[in-house]
Structure formats: C-alpha cells, structure tokens
Amino acid sequence: MLRQRCEAGLSRRGFTHGDRVVTERLDVELGVIEHLGFASYFLTVADIVEMIRGLGIRVAARGSGAGSLVNHLLDVSGVDPIAHGLLFERFLSPLRVQLPDIDLDVESARRLEIYQHIFDKYGAQRVACVAMTDTYRVRHAIRDVGSALGMESGEISRFAKVFPHIKARDIRSALENIPELREGGFGKSSSRMALVLDLVEELDGLPRHTAMHPCGIVLSNLSLLDRTPVEPSSAGFAMSQFDKDDVEELGLLKLDVLGVRMQSAMSYALDEIERVEDVRIELDNGAQVALTDEPTFELIRSTRTLGCFQIESPGQRELLGKFAPETFDDLIIDISLFRPGPVASDMITPFLQARQGWAPAVYLHPDLRPILEATCGVVVFHEQVLRIVSLFAGVSLARADEVRRALGNRDNYPQLRAWFYPAAFDRGYCLEVVEQVWDVLCAFGSFGFCKAHAAAFALPTFQSAWLKTHHPAAFLAGVLTHDPGMYPKRVILDDARQLGIEVLPLDVQVSDRVYRVEPVGDGFGIRLALSDVAGISEDEVDRIIQARPYLDLADFFLRTKVSRPVIERLISVGAFDSLHGISLGPISLGPPSPGSVASAQSASITRRDLLLQLADLDQATKTTRSRASTGQLSLVAAIDPASSLVPTGLPEMTPAESVRAELEVLGLDASRHVVDFYSSLLDRLNVVRSKDLLTTRSQSHVLVAGVKVSTQTPPVRSGRRVVFLTMDDSTGPVDVAFFDSTSAQTLHQVFSGWLLVIRGVTRRTGPKGISIRGLQAWDLTQLYEVYQSEGLGAVLDLLAPEPEVKRYDQRVKSGTMKP
C-alpha cells in the first residue's frame, strides 16, 4: 500500500514516471522502510496529515523528515528533497533500528482540536498524550521560595523578572556579574535575602510539576494501557505518565504535533484575503506561490522582514543584509547559518566573504567542490559531512551518518581518526589533505545544522515573506491576531504604516474581536481589535458584536450591559468617535494657539462629553434600579438619550492625551507614533532615523532614538557578554549592540528605560547590512524636559561623551582596537 500511494503521488508532485533518479531514490527509501518494518508508521502519519488538512488546518513537516522522498510523495512534507539535495540517510538509516521522528507543525490555535480528532479517530484505548516534568529554574524558584517565606507578591515579581532565563544555581553569579542587577541593588546583603538565595540554589533542577508535553502524542494498539499508566491532563486528554524518552525506549509510536503560531497567522491571512478580495490562495500550490518569486526575495533582501517566520530577529535581519539571498536554497543556507553552532564556530564570516567576492572560496581538494560549492567552500550542513565522509572513507551514506553522530562526542575522536586516515589513504588522498579534512570534520562536530530541517523551516519562511510582499495588510492582520513573533503589536502596527497600510481606530460599530482588513481607497487598512482593550471580557466582546448597530452611546450602554470602566476605556481611545462625529482635528504636536482649539470644539461633542454622559447614564441606572424592581419606571423610560448629550465646552483630548490613552488601554500607540512628540528635539540633535541609517558611512558617530522594543543577551562566539537592543523610531527598527566594556550606568539606562537616545558608531556589513555599537544611553523624556526648560545647549551638555567613549575613539583611531 505504501508503494502504491507513493507512486500515485509522483504525478501530483510534478515528477515524470520513469525518471531514473526519482525511481531509484524511491526504491531505496521504500527498501529501507520495508526492511525496518516501518511502513505502517509512514501510512499512519500520512493518514493523520490528510485528516488535519481535511479539517481545513494548515500542516507542515519539520525536521529531517523533509529529506524523505516518501514523505514528499505522501504530502507529509512540502519540500522536494531531490531538488534541494537532501539525504534520506540523515532521516532514516538501516543501521539504526528505531522509529524516526516526523514532526508536524500545525496551527497553534487549533492544536487541541487536532488532538481531539486523533483521539476520536483511533480511540481512547490506543492514544495518549506524553508527559513532561517541569524543573526549577531561577524565576520559578524565586517565586515559590518567596511565597513560602511570606514575601509580598509585588516584591517577588519584581525580583524574579529582573533575571534572565538561567539556572537557579547561578543566581549569585548573576547578581555579581550582570551590571544591571549589581547596580540595581538586587540581592542586597541581609539574613532573609541570604536565605532566599540559599533556597533558590537548592531547588535548581528539582521537579516542580508534571504537565502535558506541548506536542507529543503516543499511538499504539489496544495494548497501550497495559504498557503505560495514564492520568487526566489539564486539557482533559488521557496522558501517559512517561516522558518522551520513556515512550521511545518502550518502542511506542510517538508523533510530535507542534502548535506554531505562524501557521495560524498565515491561515488567518488567507481567510482575510478570501473575505476581502474574493480570492482563495493555496500557499502550498507552486503554481500560485512560486518559490522563485523575485518580489518576495526583494523584500527579504531589504531586511523589512518584521513578522516573517525565522527571519525577523535583529541578528537575522543583519545577516540578510549581508547575505542578500536570491533563491530558496539561499534561504536554506541563511536559516542554517543563524544557529548557535555556526555562530559559535564562526562559519558565517568565511561564507560571507566568499559569497560577496571579498575572498576566494577555498576547497581543500577538487573532489570537495561539488559538495561545498553551494556554501562557498564552508561546511554548513550535516548532509555535507555525510558526503565528505562517504567520499573520503568510501562508505555508504548510512555509515557516514553514524560517523557524524560520533563526531558529536570528542571522546570518540581517537577511534574515529584511527579508522578515517587509513580509509582515506586507500582512496588515494595524501596525508596533508586528509589532515585538513579531518580538522574540518572535528571543528564541525555538532555545530552544523541539518539541511532538511532548514529546508522545512525555509518553506513557511518564504510563504510568510510572500504574503507580506503581495498581501501585507492581510498578513500583518494575521500576525497581530495570532502574535507569532518576537515583537510587540505596536511595532507590527508601525511596520504596517511604513508599508502604506492605514491603521484604523477602534470602533464599536465595526471592530471585531480580532484584527480585520478593510478596503481604504485604493489600498487596505487594518482595523484594531476589541479584544485588545484592557479588562474587557470575551462575553462583553460578544455582546458588543451581537447588538450592532448602535444609535449612540446611550443605546450602546443600555443594550450591551458592558461595565462602566470598559466603556470609559472605549471612549478614551475613540471607539465612539464615528458614532458621534468626533474628530480630534488636524495633528498638531506642538502647543495649540490660544483659544483656537477650545472655541472650535466648544460647539461640538468631545470624548470628555461622552465620559460625562456615561457618568449620568451610570447614575441613572443606579437610581432607577430600585424603582424598576417595584415596577415604577423602566430603565429605558428613565433615560432620555437625546437630551442628555450636549456639548459642554470641554476641550477635546490633545494628541498626546489620546496616545497616552491608547498605550494604557490597548498597549499600543495607534493614532500616531509616540516618538513623533519628540521630533522637534530629535531633529535639532540630528538624530539619524532607521530609514536613513544605510546612508551613513561606516565608522560614523550617530545619535539614534526610539521606543525600546526588546533586549537580548545571547551567547556569542567570543564569550563576552553582549546586550542587543532593538528600538522602534517610527520609520523602522534600530538595532544596537552594547559590549561588556560599556559603563554600568549606560547598561542600567538601557534596561530600565523605555524611550531612549543612544550614541553609537556604525559599521557597514553588507549591501543592506549595518550595525551600531552602542556607547552611551539617555532617557529621552528627561532630555526633552531639559530641552523645554533650559534649551538645546543644556541637552548638548548632557550628551557630552563619557571618558570611556573618548578612550574608545582614541584606540580605534590608533588601530589598537577594532570597532
């Protein structure tokens, strides 16, 4: 049956029957699968994938399973392994008698729905979820120790949040070595704090609780319950008490069904495109979404990839600017390079130098050129190691994969070397070449990345970029609704503005619980979602949507029964503006001229008038509630909406007040960017905006400013601590790196501030690549207060370079330090 289904998939996947390469590859794979007795496993996975697609849910394979032609022909994987040089042996080998992993990425919003259908299809006697044990790390340990010692919840939360995600046993080391913790006074010496630290360290690695694994499901025959104890999970599904390693040792069939928010975001985008444009797009259909689409690669090379799968982080955007991918295979390489192993072993630098023509590609032997040409002579993929070992040692790819696995443990090196050298000599390679190749294999170790895994990631990466290129409003609406990335919604909304997409305000007449696309002129806008309002319940959202349309605020109040605090928030962010013809007027960020705004607004209804009417409506409700209970007067009869709403002459909210309300109620600045209010100062300081950074020369001293989006402290190759800061300045993201030589005062400002001004030095790294080394940081709001009260000169005095910055400049100019 497996062969029949695969052969049926040949024409569907565009292969020609009789193609020798395809036929031989299929015969090899089916032979191994049959030899290992795994045919039923592949058919079961294909059955589940077909069921998921039948439910209208997006699904894609991840991991080394993308290297299997069988998986491709069964529609489990969307990646063509032959076209992209993927190896079946990296996925499944006759030398390893264990079930391979075929992981499935599905829409996160519907993952539990899939679980339910799997239980229904195969029966509760044959299916169970896998358990996992959550162990203590520093944050959980602090929270539990603090609660046990009776500390205040606010104090516990503040203390826990300042720590990065580290092991509990490293808490004292973090307090001593991380400047912002040391300077912030956390962990000050006291008997109680010493006890807290002692207990936190003692909890390190201990089990905290058992939970349902986020993706593991076990499938078996009717003997499942005889082989594993089960218990109810929090989600209501039967859960094995064994973890993933236990069930694999028992030989049970484990399938990983991972909920991926990007899959939900893309599915949502496709639905919005169909709803608004009446066009149904199938992302997995190569005729509709070609992997050679040049506009998509133009977007990727531009580094405007916020929201896109796998390529939106600051480091990835910088790599894209240096690399400038042109093909789908380039995207596979990009995703593989941006991994801890390749970064730590510095594979990126020699690759980029050869890629950009700054240095020649180096091949240790002409026989290696076909294997390494795509990566400019640099070993990047596991599959390349397999081919090198197979070539030099004259062994099968399956045997070569066993060698690759052994290279991950340095204790195996002497034995492997004793085997590899004679085998390579027998193949005619000289000692010098063999030693060089051996050094490359040892350096590679476990640092490389599986090309099949990267190809499986590259597919949704490209699909998300395609959607952003051709349907940006729908795509970003999906990103905002399902929140799949690393950036807050306000950053995604600002990205929408940069793409010419209008951000439409909250409106009780039209806003949905989710972000919706609406036609606006010749383009599209994104309407804000009711669910983002602070404190609003799902039931209140439902009542608002169901009771439409409304005549006015009073009608809304009477029929929705939404709480007064929520209605106040809706008013403050303009959700009733269209209903009452309210307009804040032209945008003016400076102070209004005397009397102009007040006189113009005195004859019109304002948001403040609506707040007054709401107070009257609420009071009338309380007054008439007792009367209504005795039948004296109904609530509707007691309130005359027409007579209760009149202009009071109160001035309308200023733009600053409006944005402040949006930040408090929605968590985002929707009507305009908060940085715009400081433009007068930033312009006089010659602050460089994100959109203009590529026009600056390398080694330029610049001031940049913006809203802090994120800070990260990932491990880097040098071992030094580096803080990566991302800001948003209304024209795009600004990425800055602070090294361990940065002053503690500056780092404290970076971590504690929100609106920041940064002094830094630029470095051009590629056609679209630029990085900034941060030197100093200031609070923008404080600088603006000084500017208003004391003038520009006082601000310039505050921005004077620190002594450390001057010494840095001197070392760079003298050539004793690289920038």
Q: What is the mean predicted confidence (pLDDT) over 164-182?
A: 81
CB-based contact 533:666 (threshold 8 Å):
yes
Position 600 pLDDT exceeds 60: no
Position 818 pLDDT exceeds 80: no
Q: What count of residues does the chain have?
A: 819
Position 774 pLDDT exceeds 90: yes
C-alpha dihedral over 556, 559, 561, 564, to 10 degrees? Answer: 20
Looking at residue 643, its pLDDT comes to 47
Position 587 pLDDT exceeds 60: no
Looking at residue 547, its pLDDT comes to 96
Q: Select the highest-mean-pLDDT range: 164-178, 620-634, 652-666.
A: 652-666
Going by the DSSP 8-state scheme, the letter that residue 574 receives in this structure is T
As a whole number of angstroms, the distance between CA 812 and CA 467 comes to: 44
Position 90 pLDDT exceeds 80: yes
Beta strands in 241-316 (DSSP E): 253-260
As a whole number of angstroms, the distance between CA 264 and CA 109 comes to: 6
As a whole number of angstroms, the distance between CA 434 and CA 418 comes to: 12
Q: Which residue, among 221, 246, 223, 215, has the nearest Cα to 41 in the 3D structure?
A: 221
Task: Mean pLDDT check: name the lowest of 319-328, 596-605, 799-808.
Answer: 596-605
- Beta strands 733-738 and 207-219: pairing type? unpaired
pLDDT in tens, 679-703: 999 999 999 999 999 999 999 999 9
Q: Identify which has the larger pLDDT, 588 or 61.
A: 61
Q: What is the DSSP string of 137-160?
A: -HHHHHHHHHHHTT--HHHHHHHH
pLDDT level of residue 776 (50, 70, 90 thresholds): very high
Q: What is the mean predicted confidence (pLDDT) over 539-554?
A: 96
As a whole number of angstroms, the distance between CA 466 and CA 453 comes to: 20
Looking at residue 594, its pLDDT comes to 37
Looking at residue 711, its pLDDT comes to 87
Position 163 pLDDT exceeds 90: no
CB-based contact 64:90 (threshold 8 Å):
yes
Position 595 pLDDT exceeds 50: no
pLDDT in tens, 294-310: 999 999 999 999 999 99
Q: Which residue, among 449, 441, 493, 447, has the nearest Cα to 472 in the 3D structure?
A: 493
Looking at residue 740, its pLDDT comes to 80
As a whole number of angstroms, the distance between CA 91 and CA 62 comes to: 11
SS3 533: coil
pLDDT level of residue 721 (50, 70, 90 thresholds): confident
As a whole number of angstroms, the distance between CA 108 and CA 260 comes to: 5
- Return the percent helix, strand and coil in the chain, to nearest 5: 50, 15, 35
CB-based contact 503:523 (threshold 8 Å):
no
Q: Which class for 370: exposed (0-12), middle (13-18), buried (19 or more C-beta within 10 A)?
A: exposed
Looking at residue 272, its pLDDT comes to 98
Q: What is the DSSP string of 422-487?
A: HHHHHTT--HHHHHHHHHHHHHHTT-SB-HHHHHHHHHHHHHHHHHHHH-HHHHHHHHHHH--SSS
As a whole number of angstroms, the distance between CA 517 and CA 324 comes to: 31
CB-based contact 101:215 (threshold 8 Å):
no
Q: Can you read off the two tokens belonging to residue 778?
A: 């200031």
SS3 129: strand
Beta partners for residue 61, in sequence order? 104
Q: What is the DSSP string of 368-386?
A: GHHHHGGGTT---BHHHHH
Q: Identify which has the larger pLDDT, 127 or 234.
A: 127
- Entry pTM: 0.89
pLDDT level of residue 179 (50, 70, 90 thresholds): low
pLDDT level of residue 597 (50, 70, 90 thresholds): very low
Going by the DSSP 8-state scheme, the letter that residue 16 receives in this structure is P
CB-based contact 713:770 (threshold 8 Å):
no
Task: Mean pLDDT check: name the lowest of 58-62, 386-390, 599-603.
Answer: 599-603
pLDDT in tens, 502-519: 999 999 999 999 999 999
Percent of the chain with pLDDT over 70: 90
- Interhelix angle 2-12/20-36, nearest 10 degrees: 150
As a whole number of angstroms, the distance between CA 708 and CA 777 comes to: 12
Q: CA torsion sign, 720 to 762 to 318 to 745?
A: positive
Q: Which domains does the chain have, with CATH numbers?
A: 137-205 (1.10.10), 294-458 (no CATH), 488-665 (no CATH), 674-814 (2.40.50.140)
Beta partners for residue 504, in sequence order? 527
Q: Which residue, among 593, 727, 564, 734, has the nearest Cα to 651 in the 3D structure?
A: 593
As a whole number of angstroms, the distance between CA 410 and CA 416 comes to: 10
Position 596 pLDDT exceeds 60: no
Chain-wide mean pLDDT for the chain? 89
